[in-house]
A and B are shown apart, each in its own frame.
Chain A
Amino acid sequence: MAFVRQVLVIMAKDLRAELRTKEAINASLSFALVVLLLFSFAFDPSEETTREISGGLLWIVFAFAGTLLLNRSFARELNNDCLDALISAPISGAALFLGKALANYVLVLAVELIALPLFGVFYNVRWTSQFWQLMMVIALATWGMTVTGTMFSALTVNIRLREVMLPILNFPILIPALLGAMQLTSALVAGKPIAADNDAWLKMLIGFDVMYTAVSVFLVETVLVGG
Protein backbone atom coordinates (compact mmCIF):
# COMPACT_ATOMS: atom_id res chain seq x y z
CA MET A 1 0.00 0.00 0.00
CA ALA A 2 2.89 2.31 0.75
CA PHE A 3 3.98 1.83 -2.85
CA VAL A 4 0.62 2.93 -4.24
CA ARG A 5 0.62 5.97 -2.00
CA GLN A 6 4.14 6.93 -3.15
CA VAL A 7 3.06 6.59 -6.79
CA LEU A 8 0.03 8.80 -6.16
CA VAL A 9 2.11 11.41 -4.32
CA ILE A 10 4.53 11.71 -7.24
CA MET A 11 1.67 11.81 -9.71
CA ALA A 12 -0.17 14.52 -7.75
CA LYS A 13 3.05 16.53 -7.44
CA ASP A 14 3.66 16.43 -11.19
CA LEU A 15 0.08 17.29 -12.06
CA ARG A 16 0.02 20.16 -9.58
CA ALA A 17 3.29 21.56 -10.93
CA GLU A 18 2.00 21.35 -14.49
CA LEU A 19 -1.44 22.78 -13.76
CA ARG A 20 0.07 25.78 -11.95
CA THR A 21 2.35 26.77 -14.81
CA LYS A 22 0.46 25.08 -17.68
CA GLU A 23 3.57 25.59 -19.81
CA ALA A 24 3.83 22.10 -21.34
CA ILE A 25 0.12 21.47 -21.77
CA ASN A 26 -0.46 24.83 -23.47
CA ALA A 27 2.44 24.25 -25.82
CA SER A 28 1.22 20.74 -26.58
CA LEU A 29 -2.36 21.83 -27.25
CA SER A 30 -1.43 24.69 -29.54
CA PHE A 31 0.99 22.42 -31.37
CA ALA A 32 -1.80 19.87 -31.89
CA LEU A 33 -3.98 22.64 -33.30
CA VAL A 34 -1.26 23.82 -35.67
CA VAL A 35 -0.69 20.30 -36.99
CA LEU A 36 -4.45 19.76 -37.44
CA LEU A 37 -4.54 22.99 -39.43
CA LEU A 38 -1.54 22.01 -41.54
CA PHE A 39 -3.19 18.73 -42.51
CA SER A 40 -6.00 20.67 -44.19
CA PHE A 41 -3.44 22.05 -46.66
CA ALA A 42 -1.84 18.64 -47.23
CA PHE A 43 -4.98 17.07 -48.68
CA ASP A 44 -8.55 17.90 -49.57
CA PRO A 45 -10.46 17.80 -46.28
CA SER A 46 -13.64 16.38 -47.79
CA GLU A 47 -15.39 13.71 -45.84
CA GLU A 48 -14.71 10.43 -47.67
CA THR A 49 -10.96 10.76 -48.00
CA THR A 50 -10.57 12.04 -44.45
CA ARG A 51 -12.36 9.11 -42.88
CA GLU A 52 -10.10 6.58 -44.50
CA ILE A 53 -6.94 8.18 -43.16
CA SER A 54 -8.37 9.72 -39.99
CA GLY A 55 -6.68 7.15 -37.73
CA GLY A 56 -3.29 7.95 -39.16
CA LEU A 57 -3.79 11.71 -38.93
CA LEU A 58 -5.05 11.59 -35.37
CA TRP A 59 -2.21 9.46 -34.11
CA ILE A 60 0.42 11.60 -35.81
CA VAL A 61 -1.05 14.60 -33.99
CA PHE A 62 -1.22 12.67 -30.72
CA ALA A 63 2.33 11.37 -31.01
CA PHE A 64 3.82 14.80 -31.78
CA ALA A 65 1.81 16.64 -29.16
CA GLY A 66 2.50 13.90 -26.61
CA THR A 67 6.24 14.14 -27.21
CA LEU A 68 6.19 17.80 -26.16
CA LEU A 69 4.59 16.83 -22.85
CA LEU A 70 6.87 13.85 -22.27
CA ASN A 71 9.98 15.94 -22.93
CA ARG A 72 9.12 18.16 -19.97
CA SER A 73 8.47 15.28 -17.59
CA PHE A 74 12.02 14.86 -16.32
CA ALA A 75 13.47 18.09 -17.72
CA ARG A 76 11.19 19.97 -15.31
CA GLU A 77 13.14 18.46 -12.41
CA LEU A 78 16.52 19.79 -13.54
CA ASN A 79 16.06 23.23 -11.96
CA ASN A 80 17.38 23.42 -8.41
CA ASP A 81 18.58 19.80 -8.71
CA CYS A 82 15.08 18.50 -7.99
CA LEU A 83 15.91 15.30 -9.88
CA ASP A 84 18.71 14.41 -7.47
CA ALA A 85 16.40 15.09 -4.55
CA LEU A 86 13.73 12.83 -6.05
CA ILE A 87 16.23 10.04 -6.71
CA SER A 88 17.58 10.21 -3.18
CA ALA A 89 14.07 10.34 -1.68
CA PRO A 90 13.14 7.17 0.23
CA ILE A 91 10.97 5.74 -2.54
CA SER A 92 11.83 3.13 -5.15
CA GLY A 93 12.69 4.11 -8.68
CA ALA A 94 9.65 2.16 -9.85
CA ALA A 95 7.32 4.33 -7.73
CA LEU A 96 8.92 7.50 -9.07
CA PHE A 97 8.63 6.19 -12.63
CA LEU A 98 5.02 5.05 -12.34
CA GLY A 99 3.98 8.30 -10.66
CA LYS A 100 5.51 10.32 -13.44
CA ALA A 101 4.12 8.02 -16.12
CA LEU A 102 0.60 8.32 -14.68
CA ALA A 103 0.85 12.11 -14.51
CA ASN A 104 2.01 12.18 -18.13
CA TYR A 105 -0.80 9.80 -19.04
CA VAL A 106 -3.42 12.15 -17.63
CA LEU A 107 -1.90 15.14 -19.44
CA VAL A 108 -1.49 13.41 -22.80
CA LEU A 109 -5.03 12.00 -22.59
CA ALA A 110 -6.35 15.47 -21.81
CA VAL A 111 -4.68 16.92 -24.91
CA GLU A 112 -5.98 14.03 -27.02
CA LEU A 113 -9.54 14.39 -25.76
CA ILE A 114 -9.51 18.07 -26.66
CA ALA A 115 -7.92 17.50 -30.07
CA LEU A 116 -10.33 14.68 -31.01
CA PRO A 117 -13.60 16.69 -31.10
CA LEU A 118 -11.76 19.55 -32.82
CA PHE A 119 -10.65 17.10 -35.48
CA GLY A 120 -14.27 15.97 -35.84
CA VAL A 121 -15.44 19.55 -36.27
CA PHE A 122 -12.74 20.69 -38.68
CA TYR A 123 -12.88 17.65 -40.94
CA ASN A 124 -16.58 16.90 -40.60
CA VAL A 125 -15.92 13.41 -39.25
CA ARG A 126 -18.62 11.84 -37.04
CA TRP A 127 -16.30 9.97 -34.72
CA THR A 128 -18.75 9.24 -31.90
CA SER A 129 -20.56 6.22 -33.39
CA GLN A 130 -18.21 3.73 -31.68
CA PHE A 131 -17.43 6.01 -28.77
CA TRP A 132 -16.47 3.53 -26.03
CA GLN A 133 -14.37 1.28 -28.23
CA LEU A 134 -12.57 4.34 -29.54
CA MET A 135 -11.90 5.47 -25.98
CA MET A 136 -10.51 2.05 -25.15
CA VAL A 137 -8.12 2.14 -28.12
CA ILE A 138 -6.99 5.65 -27.21
CA ALA A 139 -6.50 4.63 -23.57
CA LEU A 140 -4.40 1.58 -24.50
CA ALA A 141 -2.22 3.18 -27.17
CA THR A 142 -1.67 6.31 -25.11
CA TRP A 143 -0.44 4.22 -22.19
CA GLY A 144 2.06 2.50 -24.46
CA MET A 145 3.22 5.86 -25.76
CA THR A 146 3.46 7.30 -22.24
CA VAL A 147 5.31 4.41 -20.64
CA THR A 148 8.11 4.26 -23.23
CA GLY A 149 8.10 8.05 -23.50
CA THR A 150 8.54 8.53 -19.75
CA MET A 151 11.34 5.98 -19.74
CA PHE A 152 13.15 7.73 -22.60
CA SER A 153 12.46 11.08 -20.97
CA ALA A 154 14.49 9.79 -18.01
CA LEU A 155 17.10 8.40 -20.39
CA THR A 156 17.58 11.65 -22.32
CA VAL A 157 17.18 14.20 -19.53
CA ASN A 158 20.90 14.83 -19.05
CA ILE A 159 22.15 14.50 -22.60
CA ARG A 160 22.84 16.82 -25.47
CA LEU A 161 20.00 17.45 -27.93
CA ARG A 162 17.42 16.23 -25.43
CA GLU A 163 14.39 17.54 -27.31
CA VAL A 164 15.48 15.84 -30.54
CA MET A 165 16.59 12.54 -29.03
CA LEU A 166 13.26 11.69 -27.38
CA PRO A 167 11.24 11.34 -30.61
CA ILE A 168 14.19 9.69 -32.41
CA LEU A 169 14.26 6.98 -29.74
CA ASN A 170 10.56 6.78 -28.98
CA PHE A 171 8.87 6.77 -32.39
CA PRO A 172 10.62 3.70 -33.89
CA ILE A 173 9.90 1.73 -30.70
CA LEU A 174 6.28 2.89 -30.86
CA ILE A 175 5.69 1.92 -34.48
CA PRO A 176 3.79 -1.32 -33.71
CA ALA A 177 1.57 0.43 -31.15
CA LEU A 178 0.93 3.42 -33.42
CA LEU A 179 0.26 1.16 -36.38
CA GLY A 180 -2.31 -0.82 -34.40
CA ALA A 181 -3.91 2.34 -33.03
CA MET A 182 -4.11 3.87 -36.51
CA GLN A 183 -5.75 0.79 -38.01
CA LEU A 184 -8.31 0.49 -35.20
CA THR A 185 -9.05 4.21 -35.04
CA SER A 186 -9.69 4.45 -38.79
CA ALA A 187 -12.13 1.53 -38.60
CA LEU A 188 -13.89 2.87 -35.49
CA VAL A 189 -14.22 6.41 -36.83
CA ALA A 190 -15.78 4.95 -39.98
CA GLY A 191 -18.38 3.33 -37.71
CA LYS A 192 -17.14 -0.26 -37.87
CA PRO A 193 -16.82 -1.91 -34.43
CA ILE A 194 -13.80 -4.05 -33.56
CA ALA A 195 -14.48 -7.49 -34.99
CA ALA A 196 -12.66 -10.74 -35.65
CA ASP A 197 -10.69 -9.23 -38.52
CA ASN A 198 -9.00 -6.55 -36.44
CA ASP A 199 -9.06 -7.65 -32.81
CA ALA A 200 -5.51 -8.94 -33.25
CA TRP A 201 -4.45 -5.27 -33.15
CA LEU A 202 -6.16 -4.86 -29.82
CA LYS A 203 -4.35 -7.87 -28.40
CA MET A 204 -1.08 -6.53 -29.76
CA LEU A 205 -1.71 -3.16 -28.08
CA ILE A 206 -2.40 -4.87 -24.75
CA GLY A 207 0.71 -7.03 -25.14
CA PHE A 208 2.82 -3.98 -26.02
CA ASP A 209 1.57 -2.10 -22.94
CA VAL A 210 2.11 -5.00 -20.55
CA MET A 211 5.56 -5.85 -21.87
CA TYR A 212 6.97 -2.33 -21.90
CA THR A 213 5.44 -1.45 -18.54
CA ALA A 214 7.13 -4.50 -17.03
CA VAL A 215 10.51 -3.85 -18.68
CA SER A 216 10.44 -0.17 -17.76
CA VAL A 217 9.56 -0.78 -14.11
CA PHE A 218 12.30 -3.39 -13.99
CA LEU A 219 15.02 -1.22 -15.59
CA VAL A 220 14.17 2.28 -14.39
CA GLU A 221 16.23 2.00 -11.21
CA THR A 222 19.33 1.31 -13.33
CA VAL A 223 18.64 4.38 -15.45
CA LEU A 224 18.03 6.73 -12.53
CA VAL A 225 21.01 5.58 -10.47
CA GLY A 226 23.32 4.84 -13.39
CA GLY A 227 22.99 8.44 -14.59
Chain B
Amino acid sequence: MRDKILYIIGAVALILLARDMYLITGFPAEANQGAIFKIIFFHVPMAITALTCAMVAFVASILFLITKNFQYDALAVAVTEVGLAFLAGNLITGSIWGRVAWGIWWAWDARLTSALVCWLLYAGYLMLRNAIEEPTQRATFAAVFSIFAFIDVPIVIFSIKWWRTQHPQPVFWGGGSFPPDWSAVFGWQMLAILLVGVVFTAVRLRQEQFQREIDSLRRMAHAL
Protein backbone atom coordinates (compact mmCIF):
# COMPACT_ATOMS: atom_id res chain seq x y z
CA MET B 1 0.00 0.00 0.00
CA ARG B 2 2.69 2.49 1.03
CA ASP B 3 4.74 1.46 -1.97
CA LYS B 4 1.88 2.20 -4.31
CA ILE B 5 1.29 5.67 -2.85
CA LEU B 6 4.99 6.39 -3.22
CA TYR B 7 5.02 5.26 -6.85
CA ILE B 8 1.95 7.39 -7.60
CA ILE B 9 3.49 10.50 -6.03
CA GLY B 10 6.72 9.85 -7.92
CA ALA B 11 4.87 9.43 -11.20
CA VAL B 12 2.88 12.63 -10.64
CA ALA B 13 6.10 14.51 -9.90
CA LEU B 14 7.73 13.16 -13.07
CA ILE B 15 4.76 14.04 -15.26
CA LEU B 16 4.60 17.54 -13.80
CA LEU B 17 8.34 18.03 -14.29
CA ALA B 18 8.14 16.91 -17.92
CA ARG B 19 5.14 19.13 -18.61
CA ASP B 20 6.77 22.17 -16.94
CA MET B 21 10.00 21.58 -18.81
CA TYR B 22 8.09 21.57 -22.10
CA LEU B 23 6.26 24.80 -21.23
CA ILE B 24 9.38 26.52 -19.89
CA THR B 25 11.35 25.88 -23.07
CA GLY B 26 8.43 27.41 -24.97
CA PHE B 27 8.58 30.67 -23.03
CA PRO B 28 10.30 33.66 -24.68
CA ALA B 29 13.69 34.68 -23.27
CA GLU B 30 13.67 37.35 -20.59
CA ALA B 31 14.43 40.86 -21.94
CA ASN B 32 17.65 41.57 -20.02
CA GLN B 33 19.04 38.19 -19.12
CA GLY B 34 18.03 35.93 -21.98
CA ALA B 35 17.37 32.22 -21.60
CA ILE B 36 19.43 31.80 -18.41
CA PHE B 37 16.64 33.51 -16.48
CA LYS B 38 14.60 30.33 -16.79
CA ILE B 39 16.85 28.65 -14.26
CA ILE B 40 14.67 30.41 -11.68
CA PHE B 41 12.10 27.65 -12.25
CA PHE B 42 14.53 25.26 -10.56
CA HIS B 43 16.55 27.59 -8.38
CA VAL B 44 13.72 29.03 -6.29
CA PRO B 45 11.63 25.84 -5.80
CA MET B 46 14.80 24.06 -4.63
CA ALA B 47 15.45 26.78 -2.06
CA ILE B 48 11.87 26.63 -0.80
CA THR B 49 11.95 22.82 -0.63
CA ALA B 50 15.21 22.96 1.34
CA LEU B 51 13.69 25.47 3.76
CA THR B 52 10.62 23.25 4.16
CA CYS B 53 12.96 20.33 4.93
CA ALA B 54 14.72 22.37 7.62
CA MET B 55 11.37 23.18 9.22
CA VAL B 56 10.25 19.55 9.17
CA ALA B 57 13.58 18.50 10.68
CA PHE B 58 13.12 21.08 13.45
CA VAL B 59 9.61 19.85 14.29
CA ALA B 60 10.66 16.19 14.07
CA SER B 61 13.60 16.86 16.40
CA ILE B 62 11.38 18.51 18.99
CA LEU B 63 8.88 15.66 18.71
CA PHE B 64 11.68 13.13 19.20
CA LEU B 65 12.88 14.86 22.36
CA ILE B 66 9.33 14.88 23.73
CA THR B 67 8.19 11.38 22.74
CA LYS B 68 11.52 9.48 22.36
CA ASN B 69 9.90 7.79 19.37
CA PHE B 70 12.61 6.79 16.90
CA GLN B 71 10.28 7.34 13.94
CA TYR B 72 10.79 11.07 14.45
CA ASP B 73 14.54 10.66 14.57
CA ALA B 74 14.44 8.73 11.29
CA LEU B 75 12.27 11.46 9.77
CA ALA B 76 14.66 14.16 10.97
CA VAL B 77 17.71 12.55 9.42
CA ALA B 78 15.89 11.64 6.19
CA VAL B 79 14.54 15.13 5.70
CA THR B 80 17.84 16.81 6.60
CA GLU B 81 19.72 14.77 4.01
CA VAL B 82 17.15 15.55 1.32
CA GLY B 83 17.16 19.23 2.31
CA LEU B 84 20.95 19.33 2.02
CA ALA B 85 20.74 17.84 -1.47
CA PHE B 86 18.18 20.44 -2.53
CA LEU B 87 20.17 23.27 -1.00
CA ALA B 88 23.21 22.02 -2.89
CA GLY B 89 21.08 22.06 -6.06
CA ASN B 90 20.02 25.59 -5.22
CA LEU B 91 23.64 26.70 -4.72
CA ILE B 92 24.76 25.03 -7.95
CA THR B 93 21.96 26.44 -10.11
CA GLY B 94 22.60 29.85 -8.55
CA SER B 95 26.27 29.53 -9.35
CA ILE B 96 25.54 28.67 -12.99
CA TRP B 97 23.23 31.68 -13.24
CA GLY B 98 25.86 33.89 -11.61
CA ARG B 99 28.49 32.80 -14.14
CA VAL B 100 26.26 33.97 -16.98
CA ALA B 101 24.65 37.04 -15.41
CA TRP B 102 27.51 38.37 -13.24
CA GLY B 103 30.43 36.72 -15.00
CA ILE B 104 31.59 35.01 -11.80
CA TRP B 105 30.75 31.67 -10.23
CA TRP B 106 30.52 32.93 -6.70
CA ALA B 107 30.00 36.29 -5.01
CA TRP B 108 30.13 36.89 -1.25
CA ASP B 109 26.64 38.23 -1.33
CA ALA B 110 24.14 37.95 1.50
CA ARG B 111 21.92 35.25 0.10
CA LEU B 112 24.72 33.13 -1.28
CA THR B 113 26.65 33.35 1.95
CA SER B 114 23.69 32.54 4.16
CA ALA B 115 22.73 29.58 1.97
CA LEU B 116 26.29 28.29 2.28
CA VAL B 117 26.29 28.79 6.05
CA CYS B 118 23.01 26.88 6.33
CA TRP B 119 24.47 24.10 4.23
CA LEU B 120 27.48 23.89 6.56
CA LEU B 121 25.21 23.91 9.62
CA TYR B 122 23.25 20.91 8.43
CA ALA B 123 26.34 19.14 7.12
CA GLY B 124 27.58 19.43 10.72
CA TYR B 125 24.38 17.71 11.82
CA LEU B 126 25.14 14.69 9.61
CA MET B 127 28.77 14.61 10.73
CA LEU B 128 27.67 14.65 14.36
CA ARG B 129 25.38 11.69 13.67
CA ASN B 130 28.20 9.77 12.01
CA ALA B 131 30.45 10.26 15.01
CA ILE B 132 28.03 8.73 17.55
CA GLU B 133 27.54 4.97 17.77
CA GLU B 134 24.87 4.51 20.40
CA PRO B 135 21.39 5.01 18.82
CA THR B 136 19.64 6.78 21.72
CA GLN B 137 22.55 9.11 22.28
CA ARG B 138 22.85 9.76 18.55
CA ALA B 139 19.18 10.62 18.20
CA THR B 140 19.11 12.86 21.28
CA PHE B 141 22.27 14.79 20.50
CA ALA B 142 21.35 15.17 16.83
CA ALA B 143 17.91 16.49 17.80
CA VAL B 144 19.45 19.06 20.15
CA PHE B 145 21.85 20.18 17.44
CA SER B 146 19.07 20.38 14.87
CA ILE B 147 17.16 22.75 17.17
CA PHE B 148 20.28 24.89 17.61
CA ALA B 149 20.82 24.97 13.86
CA PHE B 150 17.25 25.89 13.02
CA ILE B 151 17.26 28.80 15.49
CA ASP B 152 20.42 30.01 13.79
CA VAL B 153 18.89 30.12 10.29
CA PRO B 154 16.94 33.41 10.72
CA ILE B 155 19.83 35.04 12.62
CA VAL B 156 22.25 34.05 9.88
CA ILE B 157 19.94 35.34 7.15
CA PHE B 158 19.33 38.72 8.79
CA SER B 159 22.85 39.34 9.98
CA ILE B 160 24.38 38.58 6.61
CA LYS B 161 21.73 40.71 4.94
CA TRP B 162 22.95 43.72 6.95
CA TRP B 163 26.46 42.83 5.97
CA ARG B 164 26.07 43.11 2.20
CA THR B 165 23.79 42.18 -0.62
CA GLN B 166 24.12 42.06 -4.37
CA HIS B 167 21.70 39.22 -5.14
CA PRO B 168 18.86 40.44 -7.37
CA GLN B 169 15.86 41.42 -5.30
CA PRO B 170 13.59 38.40 -5.02
CA VAL B 171 11.19 38.13 -7.92
CA PHE B 172 8.48 37.12 -5.47
CA TRP B 173 7.57 39.38 -2.54
CA GLY B 174 10.35 41.73 -3.61
CA GLY B 175 9.13 44.01 -6.36
CA GLY B 176 9.57 41.77 -9.42
CA SER B 177 6.70 40.08 -11.18
CA PHE B 178 6.02 37.20 -13.54
CA PRO B 179 3.56 37.26 -16.42
CA PRO B 180 0.47 35.32 -15.29
CA ASP B 181 1.08 32.20 -17.40
CA TRP B 182 4.65 32.00 -16.02
CA SER B 183 3.30 32.21 -12.48
CA ALA B 184 1.03 29.23 -13.09
CA VAL B 185 3.92 27.14 -14.44
CA PHE B 186 6.05 28.29 -11.53
CA GLY B 187 3.39 27.09 -9.11
CA TRP B 188 3.25 23.66 -10.76
CA GLN B 189 7.03 23.47 -10.85
CA MET B 190 7.12 24.31 -7.13
CA LEU B 191 4.71 21.44 -6.48
CA ALA B 192 6.68 19.04 -8.68
CA ILE B 193 9.96 19.70 -6.88
CA LEU B 194 8.31 19.49 -3.47
CA LEU B 195 6.88 16.10 -4.49
CA VAL B 196 10.33 14.93 -5.56
CA GLY B 197 11.47 15.94 -2.08
CA VAL B 198 8.64 13.96 -0.50
CA VAL B 199 9.53 10.84 -2.50
CA PHE B 200 13.24 11.12 -1.64
CA THR B 201 12.41 11.58 2.02
CA ALA B 202 10.08 8.58 2.05
CA VAL B 203 12.70 6.35 0.42
CA ARG B 204 15.39 7.55 2.82
CA LEU B 205 13.00 7.06 5.74
CA ARG B 206 12.46 3.46 4.72
CA GLN B 207 16.21 2.86 4.53
CA GLU B 208 16.52 4.25 8.02
CA GLN B 209 13.82 1.86 9.29
CA PHE B 210 15.47 -1.14 7.62
CA GLN B 211 18.77 -0.10 9.15
CA ARG B 212 17.21 -0.12 12.59
CA GLU B 213 15.69 -3.53 11.98
CA ILE B 214 19.06 -4.89 10.85
CA ASP B 215 20.72 -3.40 13.91
CA SER B 216 18.22 -4.99 16.27
CA LEU B 217 18.53 -8.38 14.50
CA ARG B 218 22.28 -8.13 14.79
CA ARG B 219 22.01 -7.38 18.50
CA MET B 220 19.71 -10.36 18.90
CA ALA B 221 22.17 -12.60 17.07
CA HIS B 222 24.96 -11.40 19.37
CA ALA B 223 22.79 -12.08 22.41
CA LEU B 224 22.26 -15.65 21.29
Contact = CB atoms under 8 A, between A and B. Distances in A.
Interface in B106-164: 117, 120-121, 124, 127-128, 131-133, 136-137, 140-141, 144-145, 147-149, 151-152, 155-156, 158-160, 162-163
Contacts of B140: 222-223, 226-227
A179 B159 CA distance: 8
Contacts of B144: 151, 155, 219, 222-223
B14 interface: no
Given A155-B145, A208-B155, A227-B140, A169 B131 contact: no
Interface string A116-137: 0000000000000000000000
Contacts of A161: 131
A211 B124 CA distance: 20
B48 interface: no
A215 B137 contact: no
Nearest to A198: B162
A2 B141 CA distance: 29
Nearest to B113: A175
A201 B120 contact: no
A17 B144 CA distance: 29
A204 interface: yes
A168 B127 contact: yes
B65 interface: yes
A148 interface: yes
A161 B121 CA distance: 18
For chain A, give the interface size range. Answer: 20 to 34
B87 to A, nearest CB: 13
Contacts of A158: 132, 137
Nearest to B149: A173
Interface in A151-206: 151-152, 155-156, 158-161, 165, 168-169, 172-173, 175-176, 179-180, 183, 200-201, 204
Contacts of A204: 155, 158-159, 162
A201 B158 CA distance: 10
Interface string B94-116: 00000000000000000000000
Interface string B42-72: 0000000000000000000000010000000
Contacts of B141: 155, 159, 223, 226-227
B72 to A, nearest CB: 14
Contacts of B151: 211-212, 215
A208 B131 CA distance: 27
A172 B124 CA distance: 8
A38 to B, nearest CB: 23
Contacts of B156: 175-176
A165 B147 CA distance: 17
B49 to A, nearest CB: 21
Interface string A27-63: 0000000000000000000000000000000000000
Interface of B: 65, 117, 120-121, 124, 127-128, 131-133, 136-137, 140-141, 144-145, 147-149, 151-152, 155-156, 158-160, 162-163
21 contacts: A151-B144, A155-B128, A155-B141, A161-B131, A165-B128, A168-B124, A169-B145, A172-B120, A172-B149, A173-B121, A176-B155, A176-B159, A200-B162, A201-B159, A201-B162, A204-B162, A211-B151, A211-B155, A222-B140, A223-B140, A226-B140
Given A168-B127, A208-B155, 17 more contacts: A148-B148, A155-B128, A155-B141, A159-B131, A160-B132, A160-B133, A165-B127, A165-B128, A176-B156, A179-B159, A179-B160, A180-B159, A200-B162, A215-B148, A219-B147, A222-B144, A223-B140
